[in-house]
Structure 1
Amino acid sequence: MTRVYPPIETKTQSNGLSPSFVETVAGFSAGVIATLAVHPFDVLKTRLQLDHTHRPQWGNSFHLMRNIVRDEGSYAALYRGLMPNMIGNSVSWGLYFLWYRNLKDIFQSWRGHNVHLTSLDYFLASGLSGILTAVLTNPIWVIKTRMLSSSRSAPGAYHSISHGVREILASEGLAGFYRGLIPSLFGVSHGAVQFMAYEQLKRRRARQLAGAGGGAGQVGELSNWDYLVLSAGSKVFAGSVTYPYQVVRARLQTYNADKAYKSARDVVVQVWRKEGLGGFYKGLGPNIVRVLPSTCVTFLVYENTKFYLPRVWDTGLAFEAD
């Protein structure tokens, strides 16, 4: 199955659907489906990030999964915290793609519609979108991290999103919702690098396909397989250098973090002193297993929703007209 990837998209499509609306729905849908597909790996990754031992991560991952199921009653324990994770991912991707599309449009208007955006343009559009998204969604991630890091029966554990909100307000105030925000903002660089790579890889692949078809200089058609490979490649590239911030963020967002750490810098100092360089890469194994499928599913659903939604809408309008 192939998709036409246009070099320049118009502000308003002929069917009346704005590109911003299409981007938001595509991002929201991608977040929901990807979360459902890989949530158990998120549980494993979060608990490994909070592990202070020097045990091997891969062997520990399987041991931890077995213990979660055994100690917490059933395989349903691997889906603890699903709702805040799903809300966080769907809202984050929806907002992210909304702002990303509009910022790209702004940069395109500055450069002129016959000029391709540069890697810097993609990096800036992605980075700014990530900052806005991180600030607005950080409270969801605080609750999600705390729910994933403990069993439902653990003392002080949140039973639901609303319970988490009440507990944080009562014990930490509004500031509690923004624990780990600084590392999250550092993590924006990950998304910026990933999208910069993804956009350029898509453009290169489209030109390659066009050239193979005798249409050099034109835009080729990308398949679902292309989207899978390009999204995975860009994710590995970006993740190779930015993973440590996730460990710092997770430790700042967990229960009683204010008693264990003074700041993000304090987390870095303590992890380095007590656990060494390997401490910054705890949970990397299950994160790779989780992130690559999640990224591939996210971008595949996003690209397909963006492609089909206007066409389904057109079909519906035509049906009503008949």
Structure 2
Amino acid sequence: MSNNRNIIEFCLGGIAACGAGMVTNPLEVVKTRMQLQGELKAKGHYAIHYSNSLHAIYTIAKTDGLLALQKGLVPALHYQFFMNGVRLGSYQILNNLGLTKDKNQKRSYPKSVAAGAFSGCCGAFVGSPFYMVKTHLQSRATQTIAVGHQHSHDSMGKGFRSIYSTFGFLGLWRGVNAAISRVMVGSAAQLSTFSTAKDYICSTQVFEEESWLNALLASVMSGCVVTLCMTPFDVVSTRLYNQGVDAKGKGFYYAGVFDCFCKIFRKEGFWGFYKGWGPSFLRLCPHTVLSLVLWDRLRIIYQRFKVKRKQEL
């Protein structure tokens, strides 16, 4: 019975994240392009194809067509389902086991941070191959507005086949170290802030206990915190996933996470880590709100369904 409950927790988290991903994927495309623009070049020494979020949306739609704003949607949804299914499901299971509470059974912020980080690591590892192919497809553009390394595959299936045939099974997890650090930091910030904020908002009794407004306000707070904490790791992750590699799988630009951090700081300065911050916020905040509110509502609906079934039996 507990195994079935765990599977349901994973599925509820994955479905909620997919719902959010459908809406925010165009901003993911914009964010990816802006993070790759001017790679390892000082400001003023590269062509600016994308000035800001709105200009990027206009440029992509005008040059590559409106549908280009949904590039990488298929692997993005797979990534959302598997990564966030495991991440949100694992966090909720830890919460159900009481591992995010103190001895007085109240929410422990440090324990929530640790649980969020652990669940983020698990989710990042599972979703890494989908995130890599998603990044490849979203960076692919007409030459006049292309940024970063341009990969030849134009679909998720071709991407997986190309990577597997060239670098083998483990090649699908290239860049996973960056993904783990990215999602670990983001998950720790997001879930701990959301859980703590929601508990506090519920305790004020401004809204009814099961009102969706509790989750909405908590998720807005969470979205702001996670954008601030995760963006530098997001930039590094995008760069590592998208860089070209030689026949042995060695990256052309970066040897690993630490090397990438050092080179970005040395060549692009501190603000290089916040490239694409605008679209990142515009994507992460709504995505956090949508996924966490949907997750919260789906769990409430599921709990009501369980109670009703129990009463009928």
Structure 1 distance, partners of 2:106, 2:139, is: 44
Q: Report the counterpart of residue 248 of structure 2 in structure 1.
A: none
Contact 1:48 1:282 in 2 (8 A): yes
5+ residue gaps, structure 1 = 1-10, 214-219
Q: Which moved more, 1:231-240 or 1:84-93?
A: 231-240
What letter corresponds to residue 283 of structure 2 in structure 1?
Answer: R
Which of 51, 63, 71 is the equivalent residue of 2:55? 63
Cα drift, residue 276 of structure 1: 1.1
Which of 117, 122, 127 is the equivalent residue of 1:127? 117
Matched, 1:284 2:277: yes
Q: Report the counterpart of residue 217 of structure 1 in structure 2.
A: none
Contact 2:76 2:131 in 1 (8 A): yes
Which of 277, 299, 304 is the equivalent residue of 2:297? 304
Higher RCO (Cα < 8 Å, 6 or more apart): 1
Cα drift, residue 180 of structure 1: 2.4
Number of aligned pairs?
A: 296
Structure 1 distance, partners of 2:49, 2:257, is: 23
What letter corresponds to residue 237 of structure 1 in structure 2?
Answer: V
Structure 2 distance, partners of 1:143, 1:228, is: 31
Contact 1:31 1:90 in 2 (8 A): yes
Whose radius of gyration is greater, 1 or 2? 1
The Cα offsets for residues 158-197 of structure 1, whole Å up to 9 and x where unpaired, read as 2221211111122233343223222222220221122112
Matched, 1:226 2:222: no
Structure 2 distance, partners of 1:281, 1:173, is: 33
Q: Report the counterpart of residue 239 of structure 2 in structure 1.
A: 251
Cα drift, residue 132 of structure 1: 1.2
Q: Report the counterpart of residue 260 of structure 2 in structure 1.
A: 267
Contact 1:24 1:98 in 2 (8 A): yes
| C-alpha distance 120-109 of structure 1, shift in aligned 2 (>3 A) | closer
Q: Report the counterpart of residue 116 of structure 1 in structure 2.
A: 106
Q: Report the counterpart of residue 68 of structure 2 in structure 1.
A: 77
What letter corresponds to residue 293 of structure 1 in structure 2?
Answer: P
Q: Report the counterpart of residue 157 of structure 1 in structure 2.
A: 152
Which of 139, 150, 167 is the equivalent residue of 1:172? 167
Contact 1:272 1:279 in 2 (8 A): yes
| C-alpha distance 161-236 of structure 1, shift in aligned 2 (>3 A) | same
Q: Which moved more, 1:134-143 or 1:260-269?
A: 260-269
Contact 2:101 2:107 in 1 (8 A): no
CA RMSD in angstroms comes to 3.0
Matched, 1:208 2:204: yes
The Cα offsets for residues 184-238 of structure 1, whole Å up to 9 and x where unpaired, read as 22220221122112111111111111xx69xxxxxx6152222112111122123
Q: Secondary structure at the match of 1:59?
A: coil
Cα drift, residue 255 of structure 1: 4.3
What letter corresponds to residue 199 of structure 2 in structure 1?
Answer: R
Contact 2:100 2:108 in 1 (8 A): no
Q: Secondary structure at the match of 2:52?
A: helix
What letter corresponds to residue 295 of structure 1 in structure 2?
Answer: T
Structure 2 distance, partners of 1:99, 1:267, is: 30
TM-score for both structures, normalised by structure 2? 0.84
5+ residue gaps, structure 2 = 246-250
